[in-house]
Every structure is written in C-alpha cells, then in structure tokens.
Amino acid sequence: MKKILFSYCLLISITSFCADEKNTVHANLKSATVFKNGAELTHTASSNLKQGMSELVIENIANQIDINSIQIKTANAVTLMGIEFSNNYLAPTEKSPRIKMLEDSIQKLQAERDKLYTATETNNELFQVLKSNRDLKGTQTGMSVTELAKLMDYYKTKMQELQETKSSLTEKMKKIDEQKAKLQNQINEENSKNTSQAGRLILQLSVAILGKYDFTISYIANNAYWTPYYDVRVDDIKSPLKLITKAKITQTTGIDWKQVKLSLSTSLPSQWGNAPILNAWYLAYVNPVYALQGRVAGLAMNSIQQGYLEKSSQKAESSSIRIRGTASINGNNEPLYIVNGAEMSKSEFNKISSSDIKSVNVLKDANATSLYGSRGINGVIVVTLKEGMDDYVTVTDNTLNLAFDIDLPYDVPTNGKAQTATIASNEIAASYKHYAVPKLDNDVYLLAEIPEWEKLNLMPAEANIIFEGTYVGKSFIDPNNTTDTLNFTLGRDKRVVVKRNKLTDYSSVKFWGSNKLQQFTYEITIRNTKKEAINLLLKDQFPLTTNKEIEVELISNGGAEVNNDLGILNWQLNLVPGETKKIRFSYSSKYPKDKQININ
C-alpha cells in the first residue's frame, strides 16, 4: 500500500512539474515608450493551454512595475481570472559583458602572480641552501685561506643577487594585487547595481477551448527614464545653424531591451484610468518657492530681492533656496531639484503649486553626492507630488507633451548607463552678430540669434555648442524663460578687438561750495581684423541714483541708444574688414564733498 501511495504521489509531482514547465513562457519585448519618469513596455508571448482552469507564468518582465497598469490582450476564449507579480530570484542571471571582461582580466593577473609566487619560492629555497652551506672552515675542507676567501665572496655575491630577486618579485606581486583589488572593486560596483534581476507575471486563466494562444502584455515600469539635450552646430557665420535633438535613455528594469521599437515622450505616464475633468481656474499672485518654507528642516529661504525689468519700471520679486550646511566655491548654492524621480530646472520647479506637493526630502553631503554625483554638491530637494485627488486625476509634465518615435530598432541594456539616440535634426536660418561689454570683459563674443523659436517645440535641456568644428561650451535652453529671440554664445572672436580707456584729459574733479563735481569721459576703440564685415552690439553704462543729494548727468552718449531706466548705452555698429571706430561718452556726478560714493 505504501508503494502504491508513493508511486501515486510521484506521478502527481511529475505531472505538476511538467505542467509548470509547459505553462512557463518567455515574454518578448517589442516596444517601449519612455517617459521622463517610467516607461510603458509592451511584450508578446504565446502558450499552449488546456481546457479549463490554467496557470500561466510569463517570464522576462521588468523588476519593478505598477501592478495597476497591467493590460493583457488575448483571444475571447481565454478569460483572465487573476494576476500576480513577483521577482524571480531563482532564475539564472547572465553576467554582463563588462563583468566578464573584468573577471577575465583578474584571471590573467592571477596566472601571472602564480608564476611570480613559484619563482619566489624557488628563490627562497636557493637562499636557504646557500645559507646552510656558508658556515665552512678551512681546516674542515682542506681549503687554503685564499680559496676560502673566494668561496665566501661567491656566497656574498650570490646571496645578494637572490635578495634583490626576492625584492623584485615581491614588488611585482604587490602591483598585481593592487590591480586585482581595483578590478574587484569595479566588479563589486557593477554587481551592486542589481539591475539584471527580472520579474514575472503569474496569470490565472479560464480556457474555453484547448489550443495555442497569443498574449500581448503592457504595463508601466518604474526604473526607466530619458533626458533630452541638444547639439548646436555652426560651421561658419554664412551657414545655417544646425540644432540636433538627442536623448539619453537609462533603464534598470532587469531586462535588456534588444531591438525594440522606441518612443520618447515628454509627459509623465498616466497614473489613473479616469478621464480628466476641468475645474475653474483662478489666477492669483504666488511665489512658488515658498511652497517649501516651514515644511522642511534644514532649508533656508533667502531674503526677497527687488529688481527692475528692462523696458519696464515694474518691480520684480525673486527668491532662492539654500540648504543649510552646504556651500559652493563658485557662489552658486542652488540645490538640485528632483520631482517624481526626474530632474527639473529651477524655473520649472517654481511653477509647482504648494497644494500639489505630497512630501519633501532634503539630501545633504554624502547622501546627496552618492546618489546624484557632483550635481548634488549643493544638496538635493526630492519632491513627490500628490496623486488620486478628485480635482486632478492625472500627473502631467509642465512641458509640452511631445512624442518622438525612433524608426530603427534600438538596444538599451539594463546597466543603468545612458544610451544616446538622435531624435531630431533641424537646419535653422539664424542671424549672427558680435557682442561686447568692454567694461566687464575685453573679449568680443559671437552670438547666434534664432527668431520664431517657438515653432521648434523646444524642451528645457542642456545644449553643447560646437562652432567651426570646435567645442565651445555648454548652454541651457529654457523655453519658459526665453524672449522673442533665442540666443546662443558661439565663443570669443579674437579677431575683433575692443579697448575701453578713461580719458584723463577730459575727466575732472571740481569743488563747488559744499559739493564735489566729477566728470568722466571714456573712449572705446573697436577694430575689425577679419576679412569680412561684422555687425556688433556694443554695450556700456552710466550710473543711476535714488538719493536726492546725488545728481547724475549724461553729458554725451556718443550716438548710443539710451535706456534711462537702466542706465544702459547700446550701439549697433557695422564694421567693414580692417575698419577701426572710436566712440566717446561722458557723464558727471555731483554730491556732498564730505561723502564718498561708489563711482570710478
């Protein structure tokens, strides 16, 4: 009876094992729509299913997903009764090519070290033999004193050689150990990413008819994002400007994206399935940065600064955030802003309403730099927005909702490293002009101006500037804070020379009663040494005052366009090849002679 029962249990186990094997399938990733935070992945799979209740295990699913976003499409004969998601920790993981290369290097170094170790042991044995045989006396060996002296010299020379060989071998093994340690640290860093562990779905199915069925599975995966950036290329000032839009795509979903159809979206994935509802929109004065004041420990709000906008006398308020305990050597203490897992510019962050903020975390020092590198040197503010409120049912990005489809199949490994893709390229008719402010900088800059840039659907992103095949530097495109014309600095043009000098013969200091009168005259010399004509925007300034005891007069503007609200002088100059122009302007100040003012 026991044998029959054992055989029956064994038969059930084998049957269950075979059924599990039969109903375990590998999902093939077909497409990925990557958002600023997250990605929608679409897989296909097929399996033979028996009639009745059946369990289907689908492998090769992302390791972190939104379970509520899962969508399964299949034939009408199959009814989905339940879904379970889990990570398959028992599945064998394939080492990345990077780790394999590092391990091969360690093996080669170990083989070399083994040879050195063997040579060291042999050297030590020879040394011991010489050491044991050196205690010889002439009376015991029948050697003369001369012969014994020669033998001792031989021992001395040979032992010295063996000692030097030992030191050399030891030093070589030490260097190999150091190289092995560095390689092992690199392997540990690669393994610490833990990005190769995939997930799986377990489907409970009711099958009406025996047969083979196809499945389409889609869901939102968390560990993926993309960031845009630009290459701005100008071959010469006679050629159009080339604006190349690129994307850095990063994913650690646990599955390699091989030959998938990629789409990139500037929006955030929808978190809820309900249709959006518009509510009344009331305008009000806000300073969004104050959304964090009083809510986060360690956060310092700088005092409000008053400024004046050009072409307007209206005052503008501005404020900034500094994390206590951080400092920057360049004076920029602005922290890094991370909203819903995605990096955001300060201007975009300022648009977030305080009522939309769910939680705020402040990272400082090592906690910030370990996660975000040098970008977190001034601290990191991590903000999570609210979800599920009745008056807004989706979380949307503040930028334009654009989608970029990449026609060619693309590979994105699950290693956390950014993969670059070119998503758009435009040739733009730009105007080029030179720009100089000799009071602040003796160099002349070449600018590219793009009118009607709104048609380009630009996104907030960094831009690499390449002029005449040379990398010039970086800029930042912020379409939300850009005027009618988009400007790029293409670098310094040393072939246009500008000098600003104070003319002492035309400057003076006089005393009238209780007042002191000073007059200043400056001469600006511009020389074009280029072989082509140039347009130059030249700027300088004269002082302003809000003190009734101080009087300022612009005596001569030198033919400039004058902005009296800001005290700015603008000259639009055209210079032919080899031409030199000189411009003079003068101003005076009168104030009580017992006072000092900041004028020169």
Across the chain, which has 600 residues, the per-10-residue mean pLDDT values are: 44 41 84 92 95 93 90 92 80 68 88 88 80 57 66 74 86 89 82 68 93 94 91 89 92 91 81 64 56 48 36 40 51 78 79 72 74 78 63 34 80 88 87 92 90 82 89 83 78 91 84 85 94 92 88 91 92 94 93 80
Do residues 406 and 423 touch, judged by C-beta distance below 8 A? Answer: yes
C-alpha closest to that of 443 among 502, 489, 503, 477:
489
Tell me which H or E stretch contains 71.
strand 71-73
Round to whole Å and give the CA distance between 104 and 547: 76
| CA distances from residue 70 to 108, 201, 272, 535 in whole angstroms, order as listed | 47, 10, 12, 59
Round to whole Å and give the CA distance between 316 and 396: 29
Q: What is the pLDDT of residue 318?
A: 42
Residue with tokens 């035309």: 506
3-state class of 237 per DSSP?
coil
Round to whole Å and give the CA distance between 276 and 376: 36
Round to whole Å and give the CA distance between 210 and 48: 8
Query: Maximum distance among all alpha carbons in the chain?
Result: 129
DSSP assignment of 150-166, as one string? HHHHHHHHHHHHHHHHH
| CA distances from residue 296 to 48, 58, 292, 339, 370 in whole angstroms, order as listed | 56, 44, 6, 15, 21
| CA distances from residue 375 to 38, 77, 437, 477 in whole angstroms, order as listed | 21, 54, 31, 18
Q: What is the pLDDT of residue 559?
A: 93
Round to whole Å and give the CA distance between 365 and 352: 26
- Exposed/middle/buried for 313, CB within 10 Å: 0-12, 13-18, 19+? exposed
Q: Which amino acid is residue 335, in one-letter code?
A: P
Do residues 326 and 335 touch, judged by C-beta distance below 8 A? Answer: yes
pTM given for the model: 0.57
C-alpha closest to that of 450 among 412, 490, 420, 422:
490
Round to whole Å and give the CA distance between 31 and 382: 30
Bridge partners, 404 (sequence order): 264
Round to whole Å and give the CA distance between 68 and 273: 9
3-state class of 41 per DSSP?
strand
Q: What is the pLDDT of residue 395?
A: 29
- Helices (runs of H) and strands (runs of E) counted in the chain: 6, 34
3-state class of 10 per DSSP?
helix
Q: Which amino acid is residue 426, in one-letter code?
A: N
